[in-house]
Structure 1
Amino acid sequence: MTDAISSILSQIRAHEMRMRGPDAAPGNAIAPSALAPGAASGATGAAGAPGFQQTLNNAIDSVSRAQNTSGALQQAFELGDPRADLARVMVAMQQSQVAFRATVEVRNRLVQAYQDVMNMPV
Structure 2
Amino acid sequence: MDIKTNSLYAQMQSMQLEAMGNRTSPVENNVSPVNSSTNDFGSMLKQAIGSVNDAQMAAKDKRNAFEMGDRSVTLADTMVTAAKAGIAFDATVQVRNKFVEAYKEIMSMPV
**Would you say same fold, with TM above 0.5?**
yes
Partner of 2:58: 69
Residue identity matched to 1:77 = F
RMSD between superposed Cα atoms in Å: 2.3
Residue identity matched to 1:66 = A
Deviation of the 1:121 alpha carbon: 1.3
**Matching residue within 40, 45, 49 for 2:38:** 49
Residue deviations 1:25-64 (CA, integer Å, cap 9, x gap): xx96xx744xx969xxxxxx61622100000000000000
Residue deviations 1:54-96 (CA, integer Å, cap 9, x gap): 0000000000000000000000000010111001000000000
TM-score normalised by structure 1 residue count: 0.64
Partner of 1:22: none
TM-score normalised by structure 2 residue count: 0.70
Matched, 1:96 2:79: no
Partner of 1:86: 75
Alignment partners' CA distance in 2, 1:73 and 1:112: 36
| 1:19-58 map, 5 Å | 32=8, 33=11, 46=35, 48-58=37-47
By relative contact order (CA 8 Å, sep 6+), the higher-ranking structure is 1
Name the SS of the counterpart of 1:49 in structure 2.
coil
Across the two proteins, how many residue pairs are aligned to each other?
Answer: 86
Alignment partners' CA distance in 1, 2:83 and 2:38: 31
Name the SS of the counterpart of 2:37 in structure 1.
coil
Matched, 1:118 2:99: no
In the TM superposition, structure 1's runs of 4+ consecutive aligned residues that sit over 3 Å from their partners are none
Q: Radius of gyration: which is bigger?
A: 2
